[in-house]
Structure 1
């Protein structure tokens, strides 16, 4: 069993460029480790608030050429893909909230174990952006298309009990107990013959996600396009001013 902990020691645990690069590097390293049968991904007091919008490295993208921006925004989907393609069983232990890119990363894992006070939210579409990082096929596979529309399009907060009923998470435990519960599940997987387990996971993933790339390969271009819309500017402005937005479809 291996454990990867992402904890910035604050109340957001946001995903900076550096954090995403390190998390991807951790997955790439583990992909070559034949001694590990299960991998835990844990956060701090909260799992993650998503992308760190205050990160200078993210803000720098606005001055890049379009081609450079397109290359830069590969990091999010590449991070999630690195975790999704691990042959070991992966388990995300979620305390507190799991928002935006944090949820995209969590659904890239095989299992999600959440504390009873955890909640989940995708604010991207209400802010005039698409939901990217190739996460939509994974979300649809977990909760179905109707519930995916509630989660993705409406951006509503989903509490732990509803997330369990929907299939977004697999276990709910007491506050502060997610890591221990995830380790217990990992130990169950570690007791299974590793070659057979890896082959079974590969077959299941191929069955569940055979069209995932075909339905999500354009989402980084959609992200770049949606970020240029007036509706996105209005959504962000309205959020900052604490008022209802007025969208014009532009």
Structure 2
């Protein structure tokens, strides 16, 4: 339920379950982890994570969440694999992302989004804890108070507010989303993998 496409040092991972708003299953998360972990071995220097259709991801599949996915370590495996990718990773957010899908976007180096994207993480209302790495990554981007607005007050943040907060770096028209991600990746694609990895380490 994901697609992986490679070309000229760029790997595009697409969440491909549009009939279910790309709701994430354990198998999908495991596939994302494998695609990210295998990227460096395959000579990939830049990685783009996106979704098919009008929604990036509705978060965990509800039936799977009730069956234990909400607390499954596969979330950490997927986000850690993205965060550990030594090249440049870009979340090209083609629409709204919710809940655990935040873990995947926050683990990427850059985030760009379409104008209609909304961001929310309803863990307080649903009675779950966020994925362990997410609060610190969110605080690093938007600060502690705004992180609490999302995680504790359950606020839904629109694309313009997300841009103002630093949650996303750029808002892009839907028909140009992947082109914009590719343009951001172009300098990394022209460099050696060692150079890309060294600058990423220096930038934290």
Describe the superposition over 1:109-155 as per-residue Cα deviations: whole angstroms up to 9, x where unpaired: 00111001111001011222221241111111111111111111111
| SS in structure 1 of the partner of residue 90 of structure 2 | strand
2:45 counterpart (37, 45, 53): 37
The CA deviation at 1:11 is 4.9
CA positional deviation for 1:59: 4.3
TM-score after normalising by structure 2: 0.88
1:153-164 correspondence to structure 2 within 5 Å: 153-164=152-163
Q: Which moved more, 1:106-115 or 1:185-194?
A: 185-194
Residue 19 of structure 2: aligned partner: 10
Q: Secondary structure at the match of 2:75?
A: helix
Structure 2 distance, partners of 1:118, 1:180, is 18
Q: Aligned-pair distance for 1:7? A: 1.2
Aligned residue number for residue 117 of structure 1: 116
- Stretches of structure 2 that go unaligned for 5 or more consecutive residues are 1-9
Q: Contact 1:115/1:176 (CA < 8 Å) preserved in 2?
A: no
Structure 1 residue aligned with 2:166 = 167
- Could you tell me how far apart the structure 2 residues matched to 1:130 and 1:164 are? 25
Residue 188 of structure 1 deviates from its aligned partner by 2.9
TM-score by length of 1: 0.73
- Tell me, what secondary structure is at the counterpart of 2:29? helix
After TM superposition, the structure 1 = structure 2 runs for residues 21-60 of structure 1, keeping only pairs within 5 Å, are 21-33=30-42, 35-45=43-53, 46-55=55-64, 58-60=65-67
Provide structure 1 residue ranges, at least 5 long, that are not aligned to the other structure.
63-68, 206-250
Q: 2-side partners of 1:202 and 1:164: how far apart?
A: 24
Q: 3-state SS of the aligned residue for 1:31? A: helix
CA contact (8 A) 2:113 2:172 kept: yes
Q: Which position in structure 2 is the counterpart of 1:185? A: 184
C-alpha distance after superposition, 1:195-228 (max 9, x if no partner):
22211212322xxxxxxxxxxxxxxxxxxxxxxx
The CA distance in 2 between the partners of 1:149 and 1:78, in whole Å, is 24
CA contact (8 A) 1:116 1:174 kept: yes
Deviating runs (4+, > 3 A) in structure 1? Answer: 58-62
RMSD (Å), alpha carbons: 1.9
- The answer to whether the Cα contact below 8 Å between 2:100 and 2:130 also exists between their aligned partners in 1 is no
Contact persistence 2:112–2:168 (CA under 8 A): yes
Question: Which has the larger share of strand?
Answer: 2
Kindly indicate whether the alpha-carbon contact (under 8 Å) linking 2:94 and 2:177 is maintained by their aligned counterparts in 1.
yes
